Structure 1
C-alpha cells in the first residue's frame, strides 16, 4: 500500500475515491468537518441533529454527493471525546476507518484526521501509528491454506492531509518509520506463526543468511553450532536441545550502522525455543501447540535487525537468536542433572521446562566478548509473568535504572507497555541450590522475578535488561496468533538512542 502526505483543501478533492473526516462525541465537528458544513450550508449539522452519528469511537457514516463538495464519498468517522484520544483509541479509529473503506471498495482515500493545532510530535505519531494500525488490521497468515479466506484489500493508496509545508518532512519521516516498523512486526508475526516442523534453528539460520545477502553493506552473520558450543563450554545450551533430532544453533547478526564501526554495540538476545514440550518435565497436553511461540523473542530480534537495516539507523547492534528445541528424547537432560555453564557457574536442573534461562545464560556469557554498551534479552520466559501481568504488559527487569527508564519511555511512546519488577537479594536466595551454584527454578513464588535473578547472575559485567514477553508475544484467545510484540518498543528504543526521533 502506498502512503503519502499532502497539503490540500477538502473542497478541492475531485478525483479522490473517498475522504475521511472526524466527528467527535456530543456531535462536535472537527475543523475539516466544520469547513465541509460551511461549504454545504449546514448539511452536516442537519444530519447530526437527526442523530445519525454521535461521534463515538466505532461509529461511522458514509455520505454521497454532499452539496457543493466535488468528492463523491465522504466517510464520517467517530473519534470519541475531543482531546482525549490516546494511542489505543486512535488505533481503533484507524481500524474502523480501514474496514469501512474496504467494505465500500475504495481504492484510495485522503484522511483529514490531523487537526491544524497539532504539535509536530503529535503529527509524527498520528501518521506512524496509523500506518502500523492499518497493517495490523490487514494482517493475515494464510500461506499454508489452499483456499485463501481473506478478501483482497481494495485500498491501494492512503494520503494524510497536513496543514503546512513544515509538516511535510515530519510526515515523510513518520511514513518511513511506520512502514519499516510495520514490516518488522509482520516478520515477527509470520515467524511466530510458522509451524515448528518448518521453523527450527536451521530455518532461522537460513533467514539470517538471507538478511546478510540483502544488506551486505550493514550486516554480517555467523553461527555457533553444537560443536563450537561444546568447545566453548556452553553445556547448559547443549543440554536443552539434547533430546531433539534438530540441531541447536545460535545465530549471530552483526549490524554496523554507526559512523564509527568500532563503537561498543547494543546487544539484543532473543530466546528461540522453536518448540518447547517441557522435556522430561512434560507440559500438559492442553494448548501445547502454543509452544511453537516459544521462539517469539528470537523472532522479535530478527525483525528489529531488519528494521535497523531498512532505516539505516546509525548504531552498532548485535542480534543473537538463541535457538534450539526442547524435546523428551532418550538423550534428553533430566531433573537432577548438574550442568557447568560457559561462565563456570554450575546449575542444578530441577525442572527441564525451565529451559529458556539455560540457553539465555550461555548467550549472556558469550556476548561479553563484544564489550557491549548494553544488553537486552527478550524471552517468552515464564508463565508466572502471565499470572502477574496478564497479556497487557511485558515484564521488565534490569540491573540498571537508566536503561530501564529508557525502555519504559519507549513503551509509553509506542503503547507497547511494560511493567518493571524488582530484582533483590531476597529473591536471589530462592534460587540457591544445595548441590550446585544455582538451581534453575525457585521455590514456587515470584517465578518471573526468580527467573530474572537467575539471568542476573550472568550479567554482572555490563548494563542489562530482561523483557519477559510470555503474556504479550502471542494472543492465546479467540484471535490466536503472534502479536509482533515487543518489536515496536525495541525499535523506538533504538530510534531514541540514535536521536532520530525523541
Structure 2
C-alpha cells in the first residue's frame, strides 16, 4: 500500500481527482473547517434522515458535481478519537473493494487534531484492504494502491505519519508470514526473511543451525525440533539506532511454524490454525521491518527460535527429561507445551546482550484465550515500570494488553520428582503458570511476557493473522527513543555483551 500525506482542506480534497473521496465527519467538526460546496453538502447530509446516526455509519454517492472523485463516501467519526477514527476508516475503506478503486483520498480535515488519529487512519485503511494472495492460483489481490491522507497541517502530522507507515509495513509483513501455510513458512524460510531484513540500514542478521545451537547447549529447543524433518533455525537480528553504549531491548518471538502437539497430539478440528503458532516470531520480524523504515534512536535485538513440533519416532515423549541452556532440567509432561521449551533457551541466550529490558511474544496458552478472548493480549512482567510502559503503548497504538499476576505460589505446580521442574502445572491458571515457567530462565533485566494466543489471529469467516502486537511494540520503542537515554554500560560489561553476540551470532 502506498500512503501519501498532504495538507488539504475539504475544498482542496474535493478538487483532487481520484476513484473515491472519503470524508470523516465528527460530531463536532474542527473550528476553521472550510465552508465550500463539499462542506455544505456534508453538513446538509449529516442532518438528513437517510444518513444513519452512529459511529462508522456511511453515506455514499456517485457522480457528485461538487467533487472530482468518481465516488464520494461520507462516514461518521464520532468524537474524532483514534479509536473512533479506526472504526470509521475501517467501515469506509471496507466498502471500497471494487476492482476499479485504485486511488482514494482520505480527508481528515474536519477532525480536531488529536495525537494518534493519523496512525489509526493508516493502520485501519491497510487492515481493511489487506488481501492474502501468496498461495492462490488466481489471486487478484487488492486493487487499491494509493491512499492520499489529507490533513489540516501535513507538517504537524509528518512524524506520526512516518511512524504509522512503518507500523503498516511491519504489520503486513507479520500478517504475510503468519498467514502462510506451514509448508510455505518453514524455519529456513523465516531465516531467509530475516537475512533480507539484514540488508536494511542499521540491521544485522545472523542465523544459527542445529550444529551451532547444539554447541550452545540449547537442549530444550533441540528437544522440540528433533521430531521434525525440517531443521531448526535460531535467528538473531540486531538493530543499531542509538549509541553502542546504550543497552538494547531484546524481543524474543516464539517461532513454531507448525504445531501438531507432538506425541501429545492435538485434536484434528482447527489444527490447520497451528500454522499461526509462529505469530510471535512473525511479530518480531514485523518490528524489524518497521524499524528499518522508522529508524528510531534505540538499540533492539530480536531472537527467534524456530522449528516444527511433530510426532515422529524421534520426537520427545511425555516423561522425558531435557537439559536447558541454563543448566536447569525439565520434565516433559506434555509435548504440546513446547513453546515455553524453545523460549526458555532463547531467554537464557538473551542475557549475553546485557539488555535494559527483555520482552517475549508468544502464542503460548489456550488459557489466555479463555481469560481475555481476542481483545487484549496477556501481559506478565517482573517490573512495574516496564509493565506500565507496555500497557500505555498498547492503549496508544489501539493494540491493548492486560496485566496478569506472577505470584510465586503459582509456580508450585511446576515442581517435579524427576527434574528441576515440569513443563506444565495443571489446568488452573494455565497462562500464569506458563509465565512462571519462563520466569525461571530470566536474568536480572526487567522482563515482560506477552501471551498473544487470543490476539495473533482470527478464526471463522475472518480467519487470518492480525499482525499484533507489532503496533504495541513499535509504540513502546518509539516512546523509549524519546525518553532520556539510560546510563551507559560499564566498558567491561560492553565487551562481554559484544563477545557474546558474536559467538551466538493450545498450550505452548
Cα distance in 1 for partners of 2:394, 2:287 equals 15
Cα distance in 2 for partners of 1:183, 1:101 equals 21
Secondary structure of residue in 1 paired with 2:184? coil
- The answer (yes or no) to whether the contact 1:5–1:159 under 8 Å persists in 2 is yes
Gaps of 5+ in 2: 485-508
1:320 counterpart = 2:303: yes
Residue of structure 1 equivalent to 2:35: 35
Cα offsets for 1:373-410 (capped at 9, x unmatched): 11000000111111111111111001111101100000
Residue of structure 2 equivalent to 1:8: 9
Residue of structure 2 equivalent to 1:134: 125
- The answer (yes or no) to whether the contact 2:29–2:111 under 8 Å persists in 1 is no
1:235 to partner: Cα distance: 0.8
Residue of structure 1 equivalent to 2:150: 160
Secondary structure of residue in 1 paired with 2:358? strand
Cα distance in 1 for partners of 2:129, 2:39 equals 35
Cα distance in 1 for partners of 2:38, 2:340 equals 64
Residue of structure 1 equivalent to 2:504: none
C-alpha distance 207-262 of structure 1, shift in aligned 2 (>3 A) = same
1:198 counterpart = 2:200: no
1:74 to partner: Cα distance: 7.3
Which among 467, 470, 474 is matched to residue 484 of structure 1?
Answer: 467
1:52 to partner: Cα distance: 2.1
Secondary structure of residue in 1 paired with 2:120? helix
Cα distance in 2 for partners of 1:150, 1:317 equals 33
Residue of structure 2 equivalent to 1:245: 229
- The answer (yes or no) to whether the contact 1:300–1:485 under 8 Å persists in 2 is yes
User: What is the 5 A alignment of 1:439-454?
Assistant: 439-454=422-437
Residue of structure 2 equivalent to 1:59: 57
1:149 to partner: Cα distance: 5.2
1:97 to partner: Cα distance: 2.4
- The answer (yes or no) to whether the contact 2:362–2:453 under 8 Å persists in 1 is yes
User: What is the 5 A alignment of 1:324-363?
Assistant: 324-363=307-346
1:218 counterpart = 2:221: no
- The answer (yes or no) to whether the contact 2:259–2:310 under 8 Å persists in 1 is yes
Cα distance in 1 for partners of 2:99, 2:258 equals 42
Cα offsets for 1:220-267 (capped at 9, x unmatched): 221232222222221111100111111111110111111x22321110
- The answer (yes or no) to whether the contact 1:374–1:462 under 8 Å persists in 2 is yes
Gaps of 5+ in 1: none
- The TM-score normalised by the length of structure 1 is 0.89
1:391 counterpart = 2:389: no
C-alpha distance 11-63 of structure 1, shift in aligned 2 (>3 A) = farther
Residue of structure 1 equivalent to 2:92: 97
- The TM-score normalised by the length of structure 2 is 0.88
- The answer (yes or no) to whether the contact 2:7–2:154 under 8 Å persists in 1 is yes
1:56 to partner: Cα distance: 2.3
Secondary structure of residue in 1 paired with 2:311? coil
Cα distance in 2 for partners of 1:106, 1:191 equals 27
1:114 to partner: Cα distance: 3.8
C-alpha distance 77-255 of structure 1, shift in aligned 2 (>3 A) = same
Cα distance in 1 for partners of 2:191, 2:13 equals 52
Residue of structure 2 equivalent to 1:411: 394
C-alpha distance 457-80 of structure 1, shift in aligned 2 (>3 A) = same
C-alpha distance 302-21 of structure 1, shift in aligned 2 (>3 A) = closer
Cα distance in 1 for partners of 2:13, 2:274 equals 54
Secondary structure of residue in 2 paired with 1:197? helix
Alignment length (residue pairs):
482
Secondary structure of residue in 2 paired with 1:128? helix
